[in-house]
Structure 1
Amino acid sequence: MTSYNASLRARLMPIGLLLIAMSCIQGGASLATSLFPAVGPATATSLRLIMAALILWAIFRPWRWRVARRDWRDLLLYGIAMGSMNFLLYQAINHIPLGIAVALEFTGPLGVALWSSKSRFDLLWIAIAIAGLAVLLGLDHGNSDHTINLTGVLCALGAGGCWAAYILFGQRAGEVNGMQSAVWGITIAAVVIAPIGLVNAAPAITESHVLLIALCVALLSTALPYTLEMVALPRLPTQTFGTLMSLEPAFGALSGLLFLGQALSLLQWLAIMAVVTASIGTTVTGRSAEPIEAPYPD
């Protein structure tokens, strides 16, 4: 019995760590919205990336590993995609509920998974995903009360496109050294995005409570989930990891409800679950030649 309990704990531990990591990411996104009234989403993105880069440099000390010249191109593209994704997501959640933004953003990894899969079920998952997205975009009814802000929608979809690029370039960059590449990617993202958010930063950026919140966002959204992922990934099959990652839109919706009071309609919840179902289905039935593993981006 003792051996069985130990085996059960060994199987459940990495799953629990990934669930905690997803909760941290979406909780961090919810907390980030409290910065928007004071400094705006662009500056909030800059502060989060700068602080996250500093934290990860202190923890992982990437200068100890040499990066070959031929690998810098992939690292640069990886970092630019990461920074753009974060910037666009924060712009999106400034206009639309967090759960809807994350579901729309999830079109990026879902598209990559469908593109690389050779399963005969692909058409089914595509149909389910399109149906869910149609509901989220308000195409299922004419009630203006449910119209989704167009700016938020476009930013969320743009973040999804950047997430797809992040996965593809991250796969190449990760061949150097997984965590080292992630730290360099965040550093490049900070260097690229910081000027956008800091060039016209509000005076509130120097206030201690703003910096404290930004530090908490950096810890919750980047430093802690990356660390938990490093512990969990070697202990999980790729398919299990992909299935758990598919729950991200649901975590976003729950976080928006619990921390921001963003109540969604039953139809919107069903639409988000349709996106989750399509993603899980793609993960379970897909037969990609090269499974894609990438760190958490949000």
Structure 2
Amino acid sequence: MTSTRAAAGKGTGIGSMMAFASMGCVQLGLAASIGLAGTLGSEGVAWLRLAWAALILVAIARPWRLRFTRATLGICTLLGLATAGMTLGFMKAVETIDLGTASALEFMGPLAVAIIQGRGAGRWWALVAAAGVLGLTEPWHGAADSAGVLFALGGAVCWAGYVLLTQRAGDAIDGIGALAISMPVAALAATLVVGPEVFGRMDVQVLAIGFALALLLPVIPFSLELLALRRMTTAAFGTLMCLEPAIAMVVGLLILHQVPRPAAIAGIVLVIIAGIGATRTGRREPVPVQAASNESGPVCIVADADAR
């Protein structure tokens, strides 16, 4: 029993480190993307990142060698649509509101997951995170652009779906095979929204920058999040994401020179406290189940005990 708990605790720690690394890559990728938006527009940058990510993940995972059930394909397709909505919504939001505020508003999605699915102390940490988000956004000032806020909140809805669907897809398919299906779906959806007008703005330099940005966001962070969600509950993961607005504010300060208000600094403290609490209460119980398999045989993975 003790060894099982120690192993589960170790798994949670590894999952937390993966989530931290993912958040750092996301915010660096977003900060770098803002510079390219002047050439392609925010939607064009989002499309370019998703298109490159789709090509990279298909080349790595080779999904044609995996066996997918109809239900699994449906989950991956929905995950791709959520990924596209999250990516496009956020890039539109940061056109008019600062990086930290946009991240805080979009964080309302995983925060809602944490509150709804959390148990016991998990819900209290989510409430602490919510207080931190209020400090970060300062809605009583009413200074944020309304369109940017709406795009960020739309991204929040997609992010909530992304968290839930990523765990289901990661539990159903070994490795990053799920992303090799969801990312092409996201790229196709973005193509339909953005349209062909962005193609004329492409050149070799823009394509090379887009490839590098795709690695920072979404290839590396989305892969890390998929693996992290095998080791953590969606409630704990959603609360742990509260650190992302704080990371966004630091990146915005250092790279984009967006200086935070005192209330925002207090919000950072609260979300960090909530993030630490989430890592201590959010382990997943190991429950072996049979899932989708590749050609070499079935894969035994860990399912969410809370889903029983």
TM, length-normalised to structure 1? 0.79
Q: For the structure 1 residues 181 and 202, does the alpha-carbon distance in structure 2 shift closer, same or farther, using more than 3 Å as the test?
A: closer
Query: In terms of mean alpha carbon deviation, does 98-107 or 217-226 score higher?
Result: 217-226
Residue number in structure 1 paired with 2:87? 86
Read off the aligned partner of 2:192 and give its amino acid letter.
P
Q: Aligned partners of 2:226 and 2:122: how far apart in 1?
A: 32
Match status 1:52 vs 2:53: yes
Partner of 1:195: 192
Q: Please, which of 269, 272, 275 is the counterpart of residue 265 of structure 2?
A: 269
For the residues of structure 2 that align with 1:14 and 1:82, how far apart are their CA atoms?
A: 21
Q: Report if the CA contact (8 A) 1:113-1:282 is conserved.
A: no
What amino acid maps onto 2:166 in structure 1? G
Inter-CA distance 176–279: structure 2 relative to 1 (3 Å threshold): same
Aligned equivalents of 1:230, 1:162: Cα separation in 2: 16
Q: 1:259 aligns with which of 241, 255, 267?
A: 255
Amino acid at match of 2:264: Q
Change (3 A) 1:15 1:71: closer
In structure 2, what is the Cα distance between the partners aligned to 1:207 and 1:58? 23
Letter in 2 for 1:195: L
Letter in 2 for 1:74: I
CA distance in 2, matches of 1:291, 1:267: 38
Which moves more between the two structures, 65-74 or 43-52?
65-74
- Could you tell me how far 1:208 is from its partner in structure 2? 2.3
Q: 2:249 is matched by which residue type in structure 1? A: A
Say which is worse superposed, 65-74 or 193-202, in terms of deviation.
Answer: 193-202
With a CA cutoff of 8 Å and minimum separation of 6, indicate the structure with the bigger relative contact order. Answer: 1
Unaligned runs of 5+ in 1: 1-9, 293-298
Residue 194 to residue 272, structure 1, CA distance change in 2 (3 Å): farther
| Alignment gaps of 5+ in structure 2 | 1-9, 286-303
1:296 maps to none
Check conservation: 2:53, 2:183, Cα contact below 8 A: yes
| Cα separation, 2, equivalents of 1:288 and 1:16 | 15
Over aligned residues, Cα RMSD in angstroms?
3.4
Displacement after TM superposition at 1:223 (Å): 2.4
Measure how far apart 1:229 and its partner are: 5.8
Residues 120-160 of structure 1: CA distance to partner in whole angstroms, max 9, x if unpaired? 6736742x44443444443344xx7xx11111111112111
Indicate how the Cα distance of structure 1 residues 291 and 199 shifts in structure 2: closer, same or farther if over 3 A, else same. Answer: farther
Looking at structure 2, the residues matched to 17 and 168 of structure 1 have their Cα atoms a distance apart, in angstroms, of 17
Instruction: Give a deviation string over 1:267-290, Cα, whole Å, max 9, x none.
Output: 122224434444554554569994
Aligned length: 277
Q: Is the 8 A contact 2:242 2:272 kept in 1?
A: yes
> What letter corresponds to residue 253 of structure 2 in structure 1?
L
Deviates more, 1:206-215 or 1:49-58: 206-215
What does residue range 69-148 of structure 1 map to in structure 2 within 5 Å?
69-119=70-120, 122=123, 125-126=126-127, 128-141=128-141, 147-148=143-144
1:212 aligns with 208
